[in-house]
């Protein structure tokens, strides 16, 4: 059963990557290549929130700029609720809540398979010729961290507002 959940998680992550590429915010940065090809990349902040419950469901939310993408999976079934275009006020509040969790400053944490866990990934854009930075952290679903709880609650509120379904993190 765990291996099936892992396969579904990997498949959903691939779908999230493709879907977010289509709705990603940020600035287009051409790549300097000797062949003259311009593959380019989107240079902007990105945040991934994945809630894993033991032997139950998984919610995936990706935020890129003012776009939010939501997906849900239980066992072998998945429901891609799709993308949401957030208002400026919603975008600002959401990124303030993400920053309040201080993902880069946290220890990596561990996956709590008994209670479940939340994985948080933050991608910061490249600055001054440096490559982009990626931070992956894990927190138990049993956490009492007020910043994470506030962030999760706001993600639930936004999903319910736009998709008429409230995630159960």
99 in a domain, yes or no? Answer: yes
152 in a domain, yes or no? Answer: yes
pTM, full prediction: 0.72
| Residue 86, domain CATH | 3.30.1560
- Quote the percentage of the chain above a pLDDT of 90: 57
Please spell the DSSP secondary structure of 112-160, one letter per residue: -TTT-EEEEEEEEPP-TTPPPEEEEEEEETT---HHHHHHHHHHHHHHH
pLDDT of residue 124 exceeding 90, the answer is yes
Dihedrals phi, psi of 42, to nearest 5 degrees: -90, 125
89 in a domain, yes or no? Answer: yes
Which residues touch 156 (CB under 8 Å, ≥6 apart)? 166, 167, 169
88 in a domain, yes or no? Answer: yes
Mean pLDDT value of segment 41-47: 77
Q: Tell me how many domains the chain contains.
A: 1
Which residues touch 49 (CB under 8 Å, ≥6 apart)? 59, 60, 61, 62, 63, 118, 119, 120, 151, 152, 155
68 in a domain, yes or no? Answer: yes
Taking only the tens place, the pLDDT of each residue in 59-91 is 999 999 999 999 988 777 777 889 999 999 999
53 in a domain, yes or no? Answer: yes
Which residues touch 93 (CB under 8 Å, ≥6 apart)? 154
Taking only the tens place, the pLDDT of each residue in 5-25 is 444 444 444 444 444 444 444
Structure tokens that stand for 82 in this block: 């799709």
34 in a domain, yes or no? Answer: no
Structure tokens that stand for 96 in this block: 């303030």
Which residues touch 143 (CB under 8 Å, ≥6 apart)? 118, 149
């Amino acid at each position: 059963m765990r291996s099936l959940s892992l396969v579904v998680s990997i498949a959903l992550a691939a779908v999230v990557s493709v879907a977010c590429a289509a709705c990603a915010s940020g600035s287009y940065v051409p790549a300097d290549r000797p062949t003259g090809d311009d593959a380019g990349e989107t240079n902007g902040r990105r945040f991934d929130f994945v809630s894993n419950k033991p032997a139950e469901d998984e919610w995936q939310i990706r935020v890129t700029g003012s776009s939010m993408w939501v997906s849900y999976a239980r066992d072998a079934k998945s429901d891609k609720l799709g993308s949401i275009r957030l208002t400026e006020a919603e975008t600002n509040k959401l990124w303030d809540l993400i920053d309040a969790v201080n993902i880069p400053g946290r220890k990596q944490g561990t996956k709590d398979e008994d209670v479940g866990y939340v994985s948080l990934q933050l991608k910061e854009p490249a600055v001054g010729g440096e490559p982009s930075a990626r931070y992956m952290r894990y927190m138990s679903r049993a956490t009492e961290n007020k910043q994470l709880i506030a962030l999760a609650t706001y993600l639930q509120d936004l999903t319910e507002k736009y998709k008429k379904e409230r995630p159960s993190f």
